[in-house]
Every structure is written in structure tokens, then in C-alpha cells.
Chains A and B, each alone.
With several copies, the nearest count.
Chain A
Amino acid sequence: MSKFLSLSEAISRYVHDGDTVALEGFTHLIPFAAGHEIIRQRRKNLTAVRLTPDLIYDQLIGAGCVKKLVFSWGGNPGVGSLHRFRDAYQSGWPVKISIEEHTHAGLTNRYVAGASGMPFAVLRGYFGSDLFEQTSNVSTIQSPFTDEKFLAVAAINPDVAIIHAQQADKNGNVMMWGITGSSKEAVFASKATIVTVEEIVDTFQPKFNSIIIPNVLIDAIAHVPRGAWPSYASGYYERDNDAYIAWDAVSKDRESFEKWLADEIYGESGAKP
């Protein structure tokens, strides 16, 4: 049942060294502030799951929080590579990370299986791709009704899911609208859930394409306006594309990244725009 906590308290209680964490949000509503707090609290050995490990996971990886990355598309969208990810994966700086790589359909269905309390989900996918040979947690399964084989993906049940949403009400229910990606499935699949929100409201107003996450599925809510910056929160602020572009230079070498860490995360200023 959701409690309103400070972000620092929420991360401290629900994210532990060695946990499997899923910071979800597909381009929209990426929980950057929560990611920064994880860095600040110097969590280690995380298995970090996310369809698109963009800047937020590049930052966590560069800061040494991650030992394994589970993902389906890794890049700085619209800009280029994730330099901190490459440096960790290919050169072991600051720590060597391993990867488990999927397709969007595959990883999405790993969440679906986790949300469904099933050890696996089935799909048409991966066949013909070399990915099938490289990736653990996939297998084949025979249809019991037809003479066809399908892909099975293992469920993923993170220790904690972290998402950013537009609104919480006073009872600790959460409403999000616009692009929600696989966030709902990540929440259902996870043992604990932290939500950062733009605003706390008395009652929700109807919105197109909204989903509501009931308080019984949430452990902690932290009120963190602009908590998705530099990604965007529909109805609140737009994507700060300059920050995405600027990240390329910041992350390109270890020194400039360490300066960013010191100035923006560990320093007084935090990582606010």
C-alpha cells in the first residue's frame, strides 16, 4: 500500500545492493530523478532491466551501480551511442557489466509473464535471428494444438519497479497518460514499486489514454516535480532535447563524466535543469 515518502527515503527503503531493478518509461516519463538518487546512494551490483537503456542507464552504469544490463535497444535516441555503457561493457570501466539482450517484443513479454504470475510467456519472435543463440531466458515451446514451434521467454519479476507518473491522488493512487510503454506490466511484475509524480491532486480528471495504478500495487510515492527531466511529462513539460545532445559530449570520456557526477549528482546542485 502506497506511502508518501521523500525520494531519498523511498530509494533507501526499496532499492538494495544486488537487486533487480526496472526503471521503466518509454521515452516519456523516464524516472531520471529516481535514477540519480540511486547513484547518490551508491547502490552496487544492480541487475538493471529496461527496454531502452538510454541516458538514465548510461548514468547508472557509468556511476558503477550496475553489474548486469537486461535490455532490448541501447542508444541515445536521436543522438548516438551510450558511451558509458560501451566503456563498461567493452573495457570494464568502472566495473565490468554483463548483458542479456532481447527484442522489444521479447522483453515486453518477459514483463507480461511476470505480471501474469506465469514463469513464461509465448510469442512469435526471435526465430531466424542470431539473438536466440546469445540470450538466456529464451527457449522454444511446441504448440499443443498445431504443429508449430514458438518462442518462450522467461518471466521477469524485478525486486523493484520505478516509474514516473503525472499525478497521485491523496489516497496514493497514480494516474498516467500518454505513452506508458511497458510500465503497467513492470509494476504488476515487481515485488515493490516506487512512483515519482509531478503533482498530487485531490481527484483525477479524465484524460485520453490514461491508466490508473491502484495504491495496493505501490509501495512508495515521492512527489518529484520535473522528476522525468530531461525526458518529458505530457501535460507538464517537453523533452529537453538539448540535454540529450549534450550528454554525448559529457559521456564521451571518463573525466567529463566524473565531473558531471561530482557536479550534478554528488554535488550540491543535484541534477536539476
Chain B
Amino acid sequence: MTVGSNSDIAAVSAVSDVSGEKKPWNSNEMMTIAASRTLKDGAICFVGIGIPSTAAILAKSSHAPNLFLIYESGTVNTDPKRLPLSIGDGELANEALSVVGMPEIFNYWLQPGHIDVGFLGAAQIDRFGNINTTFIGNSYDDPKVRLPGAGGATEIAGACKEVIIIIKQSKRTFVEKIDFITSFGFGDGPGSREKHGLIGNGPKYVITDQGILEPDPVTKELVLVSLHPGVSVESAIENTGWDLKVAENILTTDEPKDFELKKVRELVATSSKKSE
């Protein structure tokens, strides 16, 4: 699923702090803000509902006013003033430069590699950034939990120049082996994407409630490169189902700035109010 294509909006207001420490922001806010900062002005960005939309709107309101947002529903270069409730929210169409059919979105925009950045969420991720949004369990035909499925994710993962994955980190989500590869990251390491003919470069960042991971340029395994303020390396390791690699010079993510928090809260508040 594109992040939040299911219930991330609800999650935004419900989440509690992972570290237990009192902080003037919650982890969803931190994830949103960290994601927002990765977006370069002028980039063409394939956005989903929830955190990606919040991050994109925040980026457009601050350092990246020319961010070019495309949603799979067909809205091209849209500039939503409030958080969209669904991937095809009227706000996205009303504020778009144009709205086109889905064949044009997938065949003309996504497939040939026009998209710089695509956002994905997941229920499970492995050390090579492969993700699962299809089911939890041992059998496709008899799943323990059935998830929404691929939506746009499989081809977003394949064709965007960069992919940013947003996911909360835990032993349930960061697993040694995911139950189903819905969308391909780096497969089982270097050369896997090429073997499958995928034109995009794969995951660039995995942004979690613990910190930020990037693939090692050689091995393609995810490495923890930054910790959010107040999170320890031990916590990140503890919440990972594999032997997590940690960068030698690990950074600390900059704390949320006031304007970032203000904008994110304003967006989320308006969205919740809308649904009351």
C-alpha cells in the first residue's frame, strides 16, 4: 500500500511515544518531519494518503515550494491545502494543474521513470527493503491477516528514481523474512533489481519512529544512519528482527522545528475535525 492508504490518518492522532520519555512531539510527527526534509524542491513526487501527504504539504509550505505532487488517482501537480482523506479526495482534483486517467498516470508518468520520489508504507520490511502489504501468515490462500494489497506500490517500488519507505519499527514489522514480497527493494542484495529489470534505484531512505535507515551502497543492506532525538541505538536494535547494521558515525536527526510541528499539527487537526 501507499503509506496510509488504509488507516494512517487515524493512527496519526492515536500514536503514543515510543521512548516513554516526555517529548514535545510524537513519533508520527517526527517521521512526517524527517520525511518532509528529504524532499528536494522541484522533485516530482508520487504521494499517498497520511504521512506522505502531510510530509509533502509541509515541504511545499517550507523549503520545497515547487515540489510536484502526483497521486495515483490522476491528479497532476496538485497543491492540497488540507490533508486529503482519500487518494482521490476532491481537494486533490480541485488544486491540481490537471487530472488525467489512471492509464496515463501508470503508463506515461510512473512506468518510464518520470517520478523522482515515491513514498511507500508497509506492514513488514526486510533488511533489503523488500516490503509486504499483502498478508501476514504462512499462506496466501489462508492468511492470518489479509492486508489491502499492492495498489500502486509494486510499480512505485520498481520505477521511481528513489523510494522512501515510512514504517514503525518493531520486531513485528522489521523481520528477517517477510511473508510476501509485495514490492521489491533490493531483493537479496546487489544486482537483484537489475535482474528483474527494475528501472528505479530502489529504497533511498527508510524512515521509522526510531530513526532513518539507508541502504549500504555496496551490500544494499539497510543501515541505521540517524537516530531521532531521544532514541537509543539499543532501542533501534531491540525493535529490529534482524542483526541491524549501524553506521559508524551515526547522526541524530534534527529536532522538529517549531514551524514544522505547527504545520503538521494544523494539518492533522483539520483532517481529524473533518472526520468528526
CB within 8 Å of B: which residues of A?
1, 26-28, 51-52, 71-81, 85-86, 89-90, 101-105, 108-109, 111-112, 115-118, 123-131, 134, 148-150, 173, 178-185, 188, 208-209, 211-212, 214, 216-217, 232, 234, 238-239, 241-242, 244-245
Contact = CB atoms under 8 A, between A and B. Distances in A.
Nearest to A235: B90
Given A78-B7, A129-B154, A179-B75, 5 more contacts: A81-B148, A117-B112, A124-B158, A125-B154, A181-B74
A104 B102 contact: yes
A149 B4 CA distance: 32
B140 interface: yes
A149 B5 contact: no
Interface string B185-203: 0010000110011110000
Contact of A179 (B74, B103, B151, B181): B74
A71 B197 CA distance: 25
21 contacts: A28-B73, A90-B143, A101-B149, A105-B152, A115-B107, A116-B107, A116-B108, A117-B159, A128-B183, A129-B181, A129-B182, A130-B181, A148-B197, A178-B93, A181-B74, A209-B99, A209-B100, A212-B97, A212-B98, A216-B68, A217-B114
A85 B88 CA distance: 22
Contacts of A245: 275
Contacts, number: 232
B111 A181 contact: no
A78 B149 contact: no
Given A80-B6, A185-B103, A232-B90, A131 B49 contact: no
Contacts of A148: 197
Interface in B242-276: 274-276
Contacts of B183: 128-129
B108 A188 contact: yes
Interface centre among A74, A173, A242 (most CB of B within 10 A): A74
A77 B89 CA distance: 11
A27 B140 contact: no
A240 B178 CA distance: 36
Given A105-B106, A127-B184, A178-B99, A117 B199 contact: yes
**Which 9 interchain pairs have the tightest Cβ spacing?**
A27-B88, A117-B112, A128-B184, A73-B151, A75-B148, A212-B98, A209-B99, A105-B106, A127-B196
